[in-house]
Amino acid sequence: MNQISTFERIVRGLLIALVLLFFLFPIFWILLMSFQTNEQILRIPPSLFFEPTLQNYVALLTGRLQTAAGNLDIAFMRNLGNSLLLSTSSVLLALALGVPAAYAFARYKFRLGESIAFTLLSFRFAPPLLVLLPLSLFFRQLHLTDTYIGLIWVYQLICLPLILWIVRGYFEDISPDIEHAYRISGHGWWKTFRKIAIPLARPGIAAAGLLAFIFAWNNFIFALILASASKQPVTVGALAFVTASGIQYGQIAAAIVLSVTPTLLLALYAQRYLVEGLSLGAVKG
Amino acid sequence: MYEKGRDLAAAFVRKQVSRRELIQRASQLGLSVAATSFFVNQAMSQAMAADFDWQKHKGTNLKLLLNKHPYADAMIANLDTFKSMTGMNVSYDIFPEDVYFDKVTAALSSGSSEYDAFMTGAYMTWTYGPAGWIEDLNEYIQDSDLTNPNYNWDDVLPGLRASTAWNGVPGGELGSADAKQWCIPWGYELNNVSYNKPMFDKVGVKPPKNLPEMVETAAKLTKDLGGPYGVGVRGSRSWATIHPGFLSGYSNYGQRDFSVSDGKLKAAMNTKESKAYHELWVKMIQESGPKNWSTYTWYQVGTDLGAGASAMIFDADILGYFMNGGDNKEKGNIHYAPFAANPAASAPTPNVWIWSLALSSFSGQKEAAWYFMQWASSVEHDLFGARKMDFVNPVRASVWKDEEFRNRIDKSYPGYLEQHDVSAPGAKIYFTAQPLFFDLTTQWAETLQKMVAKEVPVDEGLDQLAASVDKQLKDAGLGG
């Protein structure tokens, strides 16, 4: 056992505190801003002491805000709902399609298997703007423009390759012997997949699902081009506070806090899966 | 009382009753301000509808694409007037300005028929027009079957009418006889000085009248105020850095971006006079501009003025207007002044940004959409927005003469009317219309950044810029 001296412990603690301060300070500052008025935020010099106000949150929740240019209608809660709906549905669909596909790519060799897997990965390489214009033409013909179903479909460009490739690596790391033993006992492949492969790969699936959720949540351009204002996610909605008559810093901060909360909670909940899942998939035995 | 209120408003609209009498008699009738305003709006709509069949497209559903802006807010606040006058239904999508033009370009380039009409800037129509995405509105304005006899197109400020019309020929003069009217001016901004009066008083300086004075005044303010900097101008790597104060001053010295001969364009930014102007501009930013000038856009320039971090701005007049209200720290302290950069010039020559309305060529109901556009750009709506909302600057000469509007502005925005009145005759777009506008103007801003950062001397930087621009023009078949 290595003995850690008190001095080393203090230095380590200080360094950790410094790193934490460096990374967490902007988030902390945004949290403070969300409880201030625009005037308090723009004070020179800025101050840590202020009389907190809930007006930013009230404005976001009620959808009405008094500004320099009169009343501002805010559709932020609707944007938040859209983000939740689009990200959750997209990840669920991508898991339903991607996990069996990842299993197939990991366990079976078939013609053009690698080419298909790589093609799916290449969706992640394509610059979204390049894909979007032809896609918007197809969407119009298929009457998918401005529909949630159309958007969830397009979001598969983000979620599916991610889930497929992370989970595939994970399946490959699990020894097939356990599955073989189970099959020798007379079980079919579907049952083996459900009862053995999926439970063993669960941390990897959770990690991939969480990452896909974060990427889907942060997407901006798909809904902007393919849908109307009523179906925009928070990433577009938050920009509404930047107007010609001024920037509503307080509302932006409150919007950031509200929009980060779901992903933060999910990430905290699934943190152990995330680290375990990613690191296990990364090293081959 | 309803009948009496209605008759009183109708008499007011027919100009048989003055505003003072209207208020007096309305209060005698026990009418609230809101009720009087309702009657006046109703009477205006009826007066508008008298000579024109506004109900021709009754039942039609229109869809608009709008930018989140006080102009759009003013329109939405008055939209029921249009709906009840025409029997049409109007829905709209509003997008934040940061992403607005991405949305417009995507909708138009994919030939989407979702939106019938949309907000645009005049510069954007230099792309949309030749691409065949938007309609030439001359055909509508001049058709008496489609345009109501009281529309009074000539009432729109001439510089703005010309600035939104182009014949599609690179280098072609804006507003020429063969120009197509790509959009209808809706609301606009010109560039002048907005300044913090208490700060100016504290230091004992007057608003500068020309660029050499501005350089001097800004330096004194920076030095004596001990905190706030002297002058805010934009500096990000974007075409939007060139078009406000910078180009307004540049054109005041008689300088152009390009020279045109035999239909071929040639860069004109490296003349002797242009170099002298750039020298002054760069010096001013280096001495008295914001620290992070190269990141400055509309938002930072405005926010600093409103928060008391800068003493003046040479930017859009309406930016100074917005910063004088709301929850800005310096609310009520901002004053306005006209600005002719060239000491030898007789009047300002501000470049303008014009929020306009354009008609999509992919719309399936163009006539109905034009009905909306002519209402939204009518005297009546312009008056409503200017009096009751932040629909400034209005584009119609008659609205600028309106007593109620002038009183409102004069009361809370000292010097605003004067700066506008002095500058409006020379206010127009001073850029040369050509398809590489955004790329070349952004490069100009980039060169300006290098000069301010002292990476390249002004002289050399402008020669390099001109050479690069000429090459790009030649490659695109636009240069000689």
- Average of pLDDT values for B301-305? 95
CA distance B108 to chain A (A): 10
C-alpha to C-alpha distances, A22 to A237, A259, A283, B157, nearest whole angstrom: 28, 22, 30, 54
User: Using one digit for the tens of pLDDT, what is the confidence trace for A32-75?
Assistant: 999 998 888 888 788 888 889 998 998 888 877 665 545 556 78
Decide if B70 and A69 are in contact by the 8 Å CB cutoff.
yes
Q: From the CB of residue B352, how many other CB atoms can be counted at a distance below 10 Å?
A: 28
**Tokens of residue B35, six digits:** 């009720």
Residue from B78, B110, B354, B393 whose CB has the most chain A CBs within 10 Å, to mutate:
B110
Give the strand pairing for B61-67 and B165-166: unpaired
Together in a domain, A50 and A174: no
Segments forming the whole domain that contains residue B236: 190-351+430-475
Residue B41 counted as domain residue: yes
Confidence at B170, pLDDT banded by 50, 70, 90: very high
Question: Does residue B455 sit in helix, strand or coil?
Answer: coil
In a domain, A273, yes or no: yes
Kind and range of the H or E run holding B241:
helix B239-242
Q: Is residue B132 part of a domain?
A: yes
Question: Where does the pLDDT of residue A173 fall: very low under 50, low under 70, confident under 90, or very high at 90 and above?
Answer: confident
Which of A73, A92, A124 is where one domain is finished? A73
Q: H or E element: which one contains B95?
A: strand B89-95
Task: Tell whether B332 and B452 lie within a shared domain.
Answer: yes
Q: What's A253's domain CATH number?
A: 1.10.3720.10
Query: Which region among A1-5, A161-165, B83-87, B191-195 has the lowest average model confidence (pLDDT)?
Result: A1-5
Where is average pLDDT lowest: A72-86, B147-161, B331-345?
A: A72-86
Q: Do B326 and A44 touch (CB under 8 A)?
A: no
B402: in domain: yes
Q: Is B480 on the interface with A (CB under 8 A)?
A: no
- The reply to whether B52 falls in a domain is no
For residue B146, the model assigns a pLDDT of 95
Would you call B388 an interface residue with chain A, using a CB distance cutoff of 8 Å? Answer: no
Q: Yes or no: say if A236 and A223 are a contact pair by the CB < 8 Å rule.
A: yes
Q: What is the mean pLDDT of chain B?
A: 93
Nearest to B309 among A44, A146, A239 (CB): A44
Please report, as a single letter, which amino acid is at residue A93.
L
Residue in chain B lying closest to A228 (CA): B93
Same structural domain, A175 and A234: yes
A94 or A60: which carries more pLDDT confidence? Answer: A94
Q: Are residues A176 and A118 in the same domain?
A: yes
Number of domains in chain A: 2
Cβ neighbours around A174 below 10 Å, total: 17
Residue written as tokens 């990452």?
A211
Per the domain annotation, does B53 fall within a domain?
Answer: no
Classify residue A80: in a domain, yes or no: yes
Same domain, A86 and A180: yes
Instruction: Provide the pLDDT confidence category of residue A176 given band limits of 50, 70 and 90.
Output: confident
Res. A94 pLDDT band, cuts 50 70 90: very high
Whether residue B331 is contained in a domain is answered as yes
Terminal CA-CA length for chain A: 27
Task: Say whether pLDDT at A284 is over 60.
Answer: no
pLDDT band at A113 (very low <50, low <70, confident <90, very high): confident
Residue B25's contacts (CB-CB under 8 Å, 6 or more residues apart) are B8, B17
Please indicate, yes or no, whether residues A110 and A39 belong to a single structural domain of this protein.
no
**Interface probe, candidates A228, A234, A247, A248, chain B, greatest B C-beta count within 10 A:** A228
- Indicate if B69 and B85 belong to the same structural domain: yes
Contact B244/A at CB under 8 A = no
**CB < 8 Å to B101, chain A:** none
pLDDT at A285: 44
B312 & B447 share domain: yes
pLDDT tens-digit map of B261-293? 988 999 999 999 999 999 999 999 999 999 999
Residues B330, B212, single domain; the answer is: yes
CA angle B239, B245, B248 (to 5 degrees): 95
- Residues in chain B closer than 8 A to A242 (CB atoms): 96-98, 299
Tracing tokens 């081959």 back to the chain, one arrives at A284
Q: Are strands B184-196 and B352-359 parallel, antiparallel or unpaired?
A: antiparallel
Question: How many domains would you assign to chain B?
Answer: 3
Q: How far apart are CA B27 and CA B1, in angstroms?
A: 12
DSSP string, chain A: -PPPPHHHHHHHHHHHHHHHHHHHHHHHHHHHHTTS-HHHHT-SS--S------HHHHHHHHSEEEETTEEEE--HHHHHHHHHHHHHHHHHHHHHHHHHHHHHHHH---TTHHHHHHHHHHTTTS-HHHHHHHHHHHHHHTT-TT-HHHHHHHHHHHHHHHHHHHHHHHHHHS-THHHHHHHHTT--HHHHIIIIIHHHHHHHHHHHHHHHHHHHHH--HHHHHHS-GGG--HHHHGGGGEETTEE-HHHHHHHHHHHHHHHHHHHHHTHHHHHHHHHHHH---
B12-21, B134-143, B406-415, B466-475: segment of lowest average pLDDT: B12-21
The conformation of residue B56, written as its DSSP 8-state character, comes to G
Q: What pLDDT digit, counting tens, does each position of B391-428 carry?
A: 999 999 999 999 999 999 999 999 999 999 999 999 99
Assembly ipTM? 0.80
Q: Which of B387, B408, B425 is the last residue of a domain?
A: B425
Domain annotation covers residue A1: no
Task: Give the model confidence (pLDDT) of A23-44 as tens digits.
Answer: 999 999 999 999 998 888 888 7
Overall average pLDDT of the B370-381 stretch:
97
By the 8 A CB rule, do B290 and B229 touch?
yes
Average pLDDT over residues B198-207: 97
Closest chain B residue to the Cα of A130, Cα to Cα: B106
Residue B88 lies in a domain: yes
Q: Is residue B78 part of a domain?
A: yes
Which among A24, A43, A73 is the end of a domain?
A73
A148-173 vs A76-107: helix crossing angle, rounded to 10: 40
> Bridge-partner residues for B479, per DSSP?
B265
| pLDDT for B44 | 67
Residues A184-197: pLDDT tens digits?
988 888 899 999 89
Do residue B377 and residue B466 come from a single domain? Answer: no
Instruction: Tell me the CA distances in angstroms from B184 to A26, A272, B44, B119, B140, one per residue in order.
Output: 44, 59, 22, 10, 11
Which residues are CB-neighbours of B22 under 8 A, at least 6 positions away? Answer: B8, B9, B12, B36, B40
Determine the pLDDT at residue B132.
96
**Among candidate residues A73, A93, A109, the one where a domain is terminated:** A73
Confidence of residue A248 (pLDDT cuts 50, 70, 90): confident
Identify whether residues B293 and B224 lie together within a single domain.
yes
Q: What is the dihedral of CA B151, B154, B159, B165, to 10 degrees?
A: 70
Please, which residues 59-78 of chain B have a Cβ atom closer than 8 Å to chain A?
Answer: 68-70, 73
Q: Are residues B345 and B364 in the same domain?
A: no
Q: Pick the residue from chain A with its C-alpha nearest to B355.
A: A244
What domain range includes position A175?
76-282
Average pLDDT over residues B171-184: 96
Of the given ranges (A272-276, B134-138, B414-418), which has the lowest mean pLDDT?
A272-276
Polymer length of chain A: 285
Assess whether B201 and B294 both reside in one domain: yes
pLDDT recorded at residue A26: 92
Residue A245 and residue A127 share a domain: yes
Q: Closest approach of chain B CAs to the CA of A253, in angstroms?
A: 16
Judge whether residue B15 has pLDDT over 70: no
